Amino acid sequence: MKKCSMLRRISEYLDNEVPDNERLIFEKHINDCEQCNAFIRDIVKIRTRIQQAADYEYEPFLTHRIMYVIEYRHREFLAWQRVEVSFKHTIFALAMIVLLTLALWLYQKPETEQSYTFSTITDSTASVLTLQPQEISKQDIAYAVFTKGE
C-alpha cells in the first residue's frame, strides 16, 4: 500500500499551524483517506495518554526510592570496578614476576668448569698437561686424541 503524501503534514494540522484555506482541504482529505484518519486517531491517543501521565499523582517517596536504587546500583558498580582493577594489578604483578624470573634464568652466566689445556702443541701434546685452568677447545681435544699414539 502506498504511503499518503499528506501524512507528513498531519502534525501541523493538529497543532493548528495550517493556514485556513488549506485547512478545508485537509479536513476533506482526512474524511476520504483511511491512512490519515488512522494516523490522527493514533496521535490523539498518544497525546491523551501523555496528558494523563502528566496529571498522575505519584507516591510521595517515589523519587527517594528511585534515587536510592540508583545510588545502590552505582555503589555496587564502583565496588566491582575496584575488584576488577585490583585483579588486573595482581595479574600484572604476577606476570612481571614470572618474566623477571625467566629473564634472570636465561641471562644468568653459567659457571664455567675448570679444565686443563696443553701448554704447547707438539707431537706429544696428549701426554703433557699443565694445571692452568682454561677452556679446552674442540680442536685441542681432537688434536690431542689424534696425536696420542705418536
Residues 35-71 pLDDT 10s: 988 998 999 999 899 888 877 777 778 888 899 999 9
Amino acid at 145: V
Q: How far is CA 62 from CA 39, 69, 130, in A?
A: 35, 11, 98
Cell matching residue 144: 690431542
Which stretches in the chain have pLDDT values below 50?
123-132
Distance between CA atoms of residues 98 and 109, nearest Å: 19
Specify the pTM. Answer: 0.37
